[in-house]
Copies of this chain bind each other. A is one copy, B any other.
Amino acid sequence: MPAKNLDEIMSFCRRRGFIFQSGEIYGGLQGVYDYGPLGVELKNNLKAAWWRANVYERDDIVGLDSSILSHQKVFAYSGHEATFADNMVDCYDCKHRWRVDHLVDGKCENCGSKNLTEPRPFNMMFKTRIGPVEEGAAFAYLRPETAQGIFVNFKNIVDSTFQKLPFGVAQIGKAFRNEITPRNFIFRVREFEQMEIEYFVKPGEDETCHEDWVKARVAWWLEQGLAPENLKLFTQPQEELAHYAKKTVDILYNFPHGFEELEGIANRTDYDLGSHSKEQATLNIQAKVVPNHDSNTKLNILDVKTNEFVVPFVIEPSAGVDRGVLAILVESYVEETLEDNKKRVVLKLKPHLAPIKVAVIPLARNNSDIVAKAKAIRKQIQTLGVGRISFEDTGNIGKSYRRHDEIGTPLCVTVDFDTIGKDGNAELLNTVTVRERDSMQQKRVHLDQIDNYIRKFF
Q: Give A contacts to B, CB under 8 Å.
A: 14-17, 20, 22-30, 32-41, 43-44, 55-57, 59, 62-71, 73-74, 88, 97, 122, 126-134, 140, 142, 149, 152-153, 155-157, 160-162, 169, 174, 176, 178, 180, 190-191, 276, 294-297, 299, 375, 378, 382, 387-391, 394
CB pair B25 A178 closer than 8 Å: no
Cross-chain pairs A/B with CB under 8 angstroms, 15 sampled: A22-B70, A25-B295, A25-B297, A29-B67, A29-B70, A35-B64, A35-B65, A36-B161, A37-B64, A38-B161, A68-B174, A122-B132, A128-B142, A131-B178, A132-B178
Smallest CB gap from A18: residue in B: B160
Smallest CB gap from A62: residue in B: B37
Smallest CB gap from A98: residue in B: B132
**A160–B37 Cα gap in the complex (Å)?**
9
Chain B proximity of A129: nearest CB distance (Å): 7
Lowest 6 CB-CB distances: which A-B pairs, in order?
A23-B71, A17-B160, A37-B62, A34-B66, A35-B65, A26-B73
**A69–B175 Cα gap in the complex (Å)?**
11
Residues of B within 8 A of A30 (CB): 131
- Beyond A30-B131, A34-B149, A152-B24, is A39–B65 a contact (Cβ under 8 Å)? yes
CB pair A67 B140 closer than 8 Å: no
A-side interface mostly: mixed
**A128–B391 Cα gap in the complex (Å)?**
42
**A37–B63 Cα gap in the complex (Å)?**
5
**A140–B190 Cα gap in the complex (Å)?**
11
**A22–B23 Cα gap in the complex (Å)?**
30
Number of copies of this protein chain within its complex? 2
CB pair B126 A130 closer than 8 Å: yes
- Beyond A153-B36, A157-B17, is A127–B130 a contact (Cβ under 8 Å)? no
**A131–B34 Cα gap in the complex (Å)?**
18
**A33–B156 Cα gap in the complex (Å)?**
13
Smallest CB gap from A299: residue in B: B25
A295 is contacted by which of B26, B88, B128 (Cβ under 8 Å)?
A: B26
CB pair B56 A24 closer than 8 Å: no
Residues of B within 8 A of A295 (CB): 25-26
Chain B proximity of A23: nearest CB distance (Å): 3
**A176–B37 Cα gap in the complex (Å)?**
23
A56 is contacted by which of B67, B129, B389 (Cβ under 8 Å)?
A: B389
**A388–B55 Cα gap in the complex (Å)?**
8
**A55–B33 Cα gap in the complex (Å)?**
21
CB pair B25 A157 closer than 8 Å: no
**A126–B59 Cα gap in the complex (Å)?**
39
Chain B proximity of A351: nearest CB distance (Å): 14
A29 is contacted by which of B17, B140, B162, B382 (Cβ under 8 Å)?
A: B140
CB pair A23 B152 closer than 8 Å: yes
Chain B proximity of A101: nearest CB distance (Å): 14
Max chain B C-beta neighbours (<10 A), residue from A29, A129, A394: A29
**A41–B170 Cα gap in the complex (Å)?**
12
Smallest CB gap from A378: residue in B: B59
Max chain B C-beta neighbours (<10 A), residue from A20, A23, A33, A149: A23
Residues of B within 8 A of A20 (CB): 153, 156
Residues of B within 8 A of A71 (CB): 22-23, 26-29
CB pair B64 A34 closer than 8 Å: yes
Smallest CB gap from A297: residue in B: B25
Smallest CB gap from A47: residue in B: B44
Chain B proximity of A17: nearest CB distance (Å): 3
**A88–B134 Cα gap in the complex (Å)?**
12
**A32–B68 Cα gap in the complex (Å)?**
9
**A64–B37 Cα gap in the complex (Å)?**
5
Residues of B within 8 A of A34 (CB): 64-67, 149, 153
A65 is contacted by which of B43, B296, B297 (Cβ under 8 Å)?
A: B43
CB pair A68 B191 closer than 8 Å: yes
Residues of B within 8 A of A35 (CB): 64-66
Residues of B within 8 A of A390 (CB): 59
Max chain B C-beta neighbours (<10 A), residue from A160, A299, A387: A160
**A204–B70 Cα gap in the complex (Å)?**
46
